[in-house]
Amino acid sequence: MSTLDKFVNAIIQSNTVYEELDSVYLENKIHGLIGDGETLAAQDDQLLSLAAALINTAIKRGKIDDNQSDRDILEAQLMDLVTPLPAAINQKFWNLYEKSPKTATDYFYQISQNNNYIKTQAIKKNISFPVQSPYGELEITINLSKPEKNPKAIAAAAKQHDHSYPQCQLCLENEGYLGRLGYPARSNHRVIRLSLGGEVWGFQYSPYAYFPEHAIFLSKQHRPMKIDQHTFSNLLEIVQTFPDYFVGSNADLPIVGGSMLGHDHYQGGRHFFPMMKAKIDRPVDLNIDGVSAGIVKWPMSTIRLISQNREQLINAANLIHKNWMNYSDDQVNVRAYTGTLRHHTVTPIAYFDHDNGQFVCDIVLRDNQTSAEYPNGIFHPHQDVQHIKKENIGLIEVMGRAILPARLKNELQEVAKYLLDRPNEMAEYHRTWADKLKQQYQFTTENVQSIVNKETGLVFSRVLEDAGVFKWDHQGQAAFDRFVKQLID
Q: How confident is the model at residue 158 (pLDDT cuts 50, 70, 90)?
A: very low
What is the structure's pLDDT at 277? Answer: 97
Q: How confident is the model at residue 49 (pLDDT cuts 50, 70, 90)?
A: very high
Alpha-carbon distance 376 to 369, whole Å?
9
Among 320, 296, 399, 310, CA closest to 359:
310
What is the structure's pLDDT at 148? Answer: 54
Dihedral angle at the C-alpha atoms of 70, 75, 76, 78, nearest 10 degrees? 130
The answer to which of 151-155, 361-365, 392-396, 452-456 has the lowest mean pLDDT is: 151-155
Query: How many CA atoms, within 13 angstroms, populate the side-chain half-sphere of residue 369?
Result: 22
Q: Is the pLDDT of residue 149 over 60?
A: no
pTM of the complete model beyond 0.75: yes
Alpha-carbon distance 234 to 202, whole Å?
13
Alpha-carbon distance 306 to 138, whole Å?
23
What is the structure's pLDDT at 147? Answer: 61
DSSP-based three-state secondary structure for 351: strand
Structure confidence by residue, pLDDT tens digits, 357-393: 999 999 999 999 999 999 999 999 999 999 999 999 9
Structure confidence by residue, pLDDT tens digits, 63-72: 999 999 999 9
Among 252, 465, 466, 232, CA closest to 350:
232
Query: Which has the higher per-residue pLDDT, 460 or 153?
Result: 460
Contact 181, 73 (CB under 8 A): no
What is the structure's pLDDT at 16? Answer: 74
Q: How confident is the model at residue 154 (pLDDT cuts 50, 70, 90)?
A: very low
Alpha-carbon distance 383 to 389, whole Å?
9
Contact 349, 365 (CB under 8 A): no
Q: Is the pLDDT of residue 101 over 60?
A: yes
Buried-exposed string 363-394: b where 16+ CB fall within 10 A, e elsewhere: bbbbbbbeeeebeebbbbbbeebbbbbeebbb
Average pLDDT rounded to a whole number, residues 454-475: 98
What number of other Cβ atoms are within 10 A of residue 482's Cβ?
15
Q: Is the pLDDT of residue 472 over 80?
A: yes
Query: Which has the higher per-residue pLDDT, 128 or 149?
Result: 128
Alpha-carbon distance 337 to 88, whole Å?
49
Dihedral angle at the C-alpha atoms of 107, 108, 110, 112, nearest 10 degrees? 160
Alpha-carbon distance 368 to 373, whole Å?
14
Q: Is the pLDDT of residue 236 over 60?
A: yes
Q: How confident is the model at residue 151 (pLDDT cuts 50, 70, 90)?
A: very low
Query: Which has the higher per-residue pLDDT, 186 or 15?
Result: 186
Among 165, 160, 185, 224, CA closest to 70:
185
Mean per-residue pLDDT over the chain, rounded: 95
Which residues on neighbouring strands pair with residue 138, listed in sequence order?
Answer: 131
CA distances from 433 to 31, 177, 418, 426, 451 (A): 56, 46, 11, 12, 13
What is the structure's pLDDT at 162? Answer: 63
Structure confidence by residue, pLDDT tens digits, 180-225: 988 999 999 999 999 999 999 999 999 999 999 999 999 999 999 9
Cα-trace Rg, the chain: 25
